Amino acid sequence: MYKFMPIERIKLIHQIREDIIEPNTFYDESNLESRFLSSLESIQVRSDNYVDSSPLVAEKVDGIKGELVEHFISVASDLGTFDLAKGHIDRLFNHLLADGATSEKDLLREGSVEFYKVSRFVLGPLWSLYVDEVFSNGDGNGVYLFAARDATPIYWAAEGILSSTYKHSYSVENSSFVHVDWNRWFMGQEDETDGGVKPLPFDHPLMKTFYGQMGFGNGQPVKIVEPGAWGSAANALRTIMPEQDFELWFMFSHMPQYIYGFLNSHAPDIDPKYFEMINDTAEAVPKAYRRPTTLTVDKNKVVADLTGKIIESPYIKTWSWAVNQGAYDAGVDFAAGKRINVRDHVQQIIALSKLSQQGQWTGVLPRNTLTWTEGENWKNNWKWGKIPPLI
Least confident of 3-7, 68-72, 265-269, 379-383: 3-7
Closest CA to 152 of 336, 322, 341: 322
Pick from 128, 229, 243: nearest CA to 184: 229
Cα–Cα distance for residue pair 16/325, rounded to 1 Å: 20
Where in the chain are the domains?
8-16+30-380
Residue of 240 and 5 predicted with greater confidence: 240
* 49-53, 98-102, 295-299, 341-345: range with lowest mean pLDDT: 49-53
The per-residue pLDDT for range 202-229, each reduced to its tens digit, is: 888 899 999 999 999 988 899 999 998 8
Q: What value does the CA radius of gyration of the chain take, rounded to a whole number of Å? A: 20
pTM of the model as a whole = 0.94
- Overall average pLDDT of the 288-292 stretch: 93
Look at residues 373, 370, 365 and name the one whose alpha carbon lies nearest to residue 85.
Answer: 365
Output the pLDDT for position 15.
Answer: 84
Alpha-carbon distance of 142 to 216, in angstroms, equals 11
Pairing relationship of beta strands 295-298 and 301-304 according to DSSP bridges: antiparallel
The DSSP output letter for 55 is B
pLDDT of residue 1: 34
CB atoms near residue 383 (< 10 Å): 7
The percent of residues above 90 in pLDDT, for the chain, comes to 75
Contact criterion met (CB below 8 Å) for 226 and 147: yes
139 or 231: which carries more pLDDT confidence? 231
Q: How many CA atoms lie within 13 A of 365 on its CB side?
A: 26
Q: Is the pLDDT of residue 3 over 50?
A: no
pLDDT digits (tens, 9 = 90+) for 135-158: 998 777 789 999 999 999 999 999
User: Region 299-305: what's the mean pLDDT?
Assistant: 94
Q: What is the pLDDT of residue 141?
A: 76
Give the pLDDT of residue 2: 38
Round to whole Å and give the CA distance between 289 and 307. Answer: 10
Report angle CA 85, 288, 161 to the nearest 5 degrees.
105
Say which DSSP state 80 is in. G
Q: What is the mean pLDDT of residues 25-33?
A: 76
Q: What is the pLDDT of the chain when averaged over all its residues?
A: 91
User: What pLDDT, in 10s, does the model give residues 239-259?
Assistant: 989 999 999 999 999 999 999
Range of 12-16, 289-293, 347-351 with top mean pLDDT? 347-351
More confident residue, 123 or 373: 123
Taking residue 324's Cβ as centre, other Cβ atoms within 10 Å add up to: 26
Q: What is the structure's pLDDT at 300?
A: 93
First to last CA, the chain: 39
pLDDT at 203: 83
Query: What is the predicted pLDDT for the residue at 41?
Result: 93
Given a cut of 90, whether residue 347 has pLDDT beyond it is yes
Contact between 119 and 330 (Cβ < 8 Å):
yes
Let me know: does 161 contact 331? Beta carbons within 8 Å. yes
pLDDT above 70 as % of the chain: 93
The residue type found at 379 is K
pLDDT digits (tens, 9 = 90+) for 81-101: 999 999 999 999 999 999 999
Specify the pLDDT at position 238: 94
Rounded mean pLDDT, 298-310: 94
Comparing 3-12, 50-59, 178-187, which segment has the lowest mean pLDDT? 3-12
Q: Name the 3-class secondary structure at 245.
A: coil
Q: What is the pLDDT of residues 358-368, one digit of tens each?
A: 999 999 999 99
Nearest in space to 371 (alpha carbons), one of 290, 277, 298, 302 = 277
Q: What is the DSSP letter of 270?
A: S
Please name the residues in contact with 227: beta carbons below 8 A apart, sequence gap of 6 or more.
Answer: 150, 151, 154, 250, 251, 252, 279, 282, 283
The Cβ-side half-sphere exposure at 212, using a 13 Å CA radius, reads 8
